[in-house]
Amino acid sequence: MNNVSSIADCYGCGVCAIVCSRNIIKLNLNNNGFYEPKIVDTTKCINCKLCVNVCAYIHDDISSKNSVLKSFAGWSKNDNIRFECSSGGASYELGQALIKAGYEVCGVRYNCVLNRAEHYIATTSEELKASIGSKYIQSYTVDCFKLINRKKRYLVTGTPCQIDSFRRYIQQFKIEDNFILLDFFCHGVPSMLLWKKYIAKVEKETGKTTSVSWRNKHTGWHDSWAMAVTGNKCSRESDLNPIYISHFSKGDVFYNLFLNNSCLGKACYDKCKYKYNNSSADIRIGDMWGQTYKDNQKGVSAIVAFTQKGLECLEQCNLELREIAFETVTEGQMLKSPKKPMCYRWCKLALKMPIKLNIVLFISKVINFCGHKILKK
Ligand SMILES: Cc1cc2nc3c(=O)[nH]c(=O)nc-3n(C[C@H](O)[C@H](O)[C@H](O)COP(=O)(O)OP(=O)(O)OC[C@H]3O[C@@H](n4cnc5c(N)ncnc54)[C@H](O)[C@@H]3O)c2cc1C
């Protein structure tokens, strides 16, 4: 394979687009709402194969499979930060410590104009704040990754597949020493078609989005799967109280379709190599679900150091760290890629049609229920 022109339904990490010296690879959303590379002018391709070399999707192995050095439960020593972050604030504290040490941080923020998640570069603690909180949609990487100066030092955060390709990129240019890579235990990413329908429905109430938070701890960490959206219809007085708030535990339709795996990327089902301890990052984080902190409502991060460099960074952060066995840290994590549920094909089709999301969800549940009944017989 000379270039990525035949690749479809990949991880959509965009690293092929940044490595291309001819600048002919664009990352677009495909028909199913997932990022995918497209070569816009194949006649300009010089067959250098760089795009193929950095692509984690087409390689069966992981670029740098390290074993677990140490694992922790951890949380920010700053209660305000801990409250704002999805779990314990490990990601923010790591970024903060590294900015102080002269690094820049490639994190993910939400772009309210385009209604998408995107990587960006933070150079100050203030700029880093936009990366707080998980955005449970695929992030667009290309504009940010293109700004990376190979001579500077960075913390790069992302899904495990984005990080695996990124590791290949820095290996290719022999600049690994300048980078610290952070990934997370990843459930998978849902289709942007789901997100676009969802946010369009919410905007009817809120007006044009001005902020989105996917997780919030007003009813505690264990019930923090709650979408909070503000829009330009918010009055000044209600700015602090998001106008739209919707909990997974109360049937939120986005979370139901996402967490029940109804419309993840094809690669999340078929080609995710990154569950459990499979990572090419220096550090992996996640929510410390499971028994140990089942009564904690402030939020605890699961933290795994895979490299000595990662471990040293963690020890410099404003984090309370409790060393815990890896098996305990990963108690609540998926061990394998999810299976496509019975409703998968229905969802794929329905998300492209003008069908309301609550109907998509209702029919999905019926399909899954009937499917299981038939299988049991
Ligand atoms: C799509 C997705 C699936 C996840 N699945 C799981 C899971 O199955 N199990 C689990 O324990 N944890 C999962 N997480 C991670 C979890 O939600 C928390 O991010 C993690 O616990 C760290 O929390 P925190 O308090 O340290 O940081 P947070 O405040 O949550 O910081 C979020 C960090 O993640 C980065 N980030 C945010 N959104 C994205 C995105 N769309 N793509 C790439 N990077 C992003 C930010 O740059 C920041 O570094 C997932 C996150 C995402 C985005």
Q: Residue 89 pLDDT more than 90?
A: yes
Residue 86 CA to residue 134 CA, distance in Å, equals: 6
**Whose CA is closest to atom 20 on ligand 1?**
286
Domain membership of residue 63 (yes or no) is no
So what's the pLDDT on residue 233? 85
Give the CATH number for residue 83.
Answer: 3.40.640
So what's the pLDDT on residue 66? 85
Instruction: Identify the helix (H) or strand (E) that includes residue 181.
Output: strand 179-184
Asked whether 186 lines ligand 1 (CB < 6 A), one says yes
Which whole number is the average pLDDT over 335-345?
A: 95
For a mutational test of ligand 1's pocket, the pick from 109, 110, 134, 164, i.e. the residue with the most ligand atoms closer than 8 A to its C-beta, is: 134
What's the structural domain count of the chain?
A: 3
Domain membership of residue 273 (yes or no) is yes
Confidence of residue 3 (pLDDT cuts 50, 70, 90): very high
Q: Residue 85 pLDDT more than 70?
A: yes
Q: Residue 238 pLDDT more than 60?
A: no
> On the CB side of 358, how many CA atoms lie within 13 Å of its CA?
4
Which whole number is the average pLDDT over 345-358?
A: 97
Q: Which residues of 349-377 are buried (b: 16+ CB within 10 A; e: fewer)?
A: ebbeeeeebeebbeebeebbeeeeeeeee
Query: How many secondary structure helices (H) and strands (E) does the chain include?
Result: 14, 14
Domain membership of residue 335 (yes or no) is no
So what's the pLDDT on residue 373? 75
Q: Which domain holds residue 253?
A: 192-262+341-376
Which whole number is the average pLDDT over 336-346?
A: 96
So what's the pLDDT on residue 374? 76
Cα 283 to ligand 1 centre (Å) = 13
So what's the pLDDT on residue 235? 65
Cα 280 to ligand 1 centre (Å) = 16
Which whole number is the average pLDDT over 140-161?
A: 97
Domain identity same for 31 and 96: no
The dihedral through the CA atoms of 105, 119, 91, 273 has a sign that is negative
Torsion of Cα atoms, 129 then 135 then 141 then 144, to 10°:
-10
Calculate the alpha carbon distances from 268 to 78, 88, 117, 309 in Å.
35, 26, 18, 29
Which whole number is the average pLDDT over 137-154?
A: 97
Which whole number is the average pLDDT over 53-58?
A: 98
Q: Residue 343 pLDDT more than 80?
A: yes
Domain identity same for 142 and 36: no
Q: Residue 236 pLDDT more than 70?
A: no
Residue 152 CA to residue 150 CA, distance in Å, equals: 6
Asked whether 107 lines ligand 1 (CB < 6 A), one says yes
Domain identity same for 170 and 117: yes
Whole-number percent of the chain with pLDDT over 70:
98
- β-strand pairing of 154-157 with 179-184: parallel
Q: What is the DSSP letter of 175?
A: -
Which whole number is the average pLDDT over 92-100?
A: 98
Coil, helix or strand for 120? Answer: strand
pLDDT tens figures, 258-271: 999 999 999 999 99
- Angle 135-141-143 (CA atoms, 0-180°, nearest 5)? 125
Domain identity same for 37 and 130: no
Domain identity same for 180 and 200: no
Asked whether 286 lines ligand 1 (CB < 6 A), one says yes
Query: Of 14, 41, 15, which is closest to residue 28 (Cα–Cα)?
Result: 14
Domain identity same for 12 and 111: no
Which whole number is the average pLDDT over 120-140?
A: 98
Name 192's bridge partners.
none
Domain membership of residue 249 (yes or no) is yes
Domain identity same for 253 and 285: no
Which whole number is the average pLDDT over 67-76?
A: 97
Whole-number percent of the chain with pLDDT over 90:
92
Domain identity same for 307 and 241: no
Q: 149 — phi, psi (to 5°)?
A: -95, 115
Cα 90 to ligand 1 centre (Å) = 10
Domain membership of residue 44 (yes or no) is yes
Asked whether 92 lines ligand 1 (CB < 6 A), one says yes
Domain identity same for 97 and 38: no
Give the CATH number for residue 12.
Answer: 3.30.70
Asked whether 189 lines ligand 1 (CB < 6 A), one says yes
Domain membership of residue 336 (yes or no) is no
pTM: 0.96
Domain membership of residue 59 (yes or no) is no
Domain identity same for 272 and 156: yes
Asked whether 158 lines ligand 1 (CB < 6 A), one says yes
Domain membership of residue 81 (yes or no) is yes
Domain identity same for 106 and 243: no
Which whole number is the average pLDDT over 86-102?
A: 98
Ligand 1 atom with the smallest distance to the CA of 87 is 25
Confidence of residue 1 (pLDDT cuts 50, 70, 90): confident
Confidence of residue 240 (pLDDT cuts 50, 70, 90): low
Residue 174 CA to residue 182 CA, distance in Å, equals: 19
Q: Residue 242 pLDDT more than 70?
A: no
So what's the pLDDT on residue 239? 56
Q: What mean pLDDT is reported for the chain?
A: 95
Ligand 1 atom with the smallest distance to the CA of 84 is 29
Burial class (CB in 10 A: 0-12, 13-18, 19+), 128: buried
CB 122 within 8 A of CB 107: yes
Instruction: Identify the helix (H) or strand (E) that includes residue 321.
Output: strand 319-323
283-287, strands of its sheet edge to edge: 139-140, 116-122, 104-111, 154-157, 179-184, 283-287, 301-305, 70-76, 319-323
Cα 274 to ligand 1 centre (Å) = 14
Q: Residue 295 pLDDT more than 60?
A: yes
Domain identity same for 148 and 273: yes
Cα 357 to ligand 1 centre (Å) = 24
DSSP string over 49-97: -HHHHT-TTT-SS-TT-PPP-EEEEEEESSHHHHHHSSSS-HHHHHHHH
**Whose CA is closest to atom 15 on ligand 1?**
286
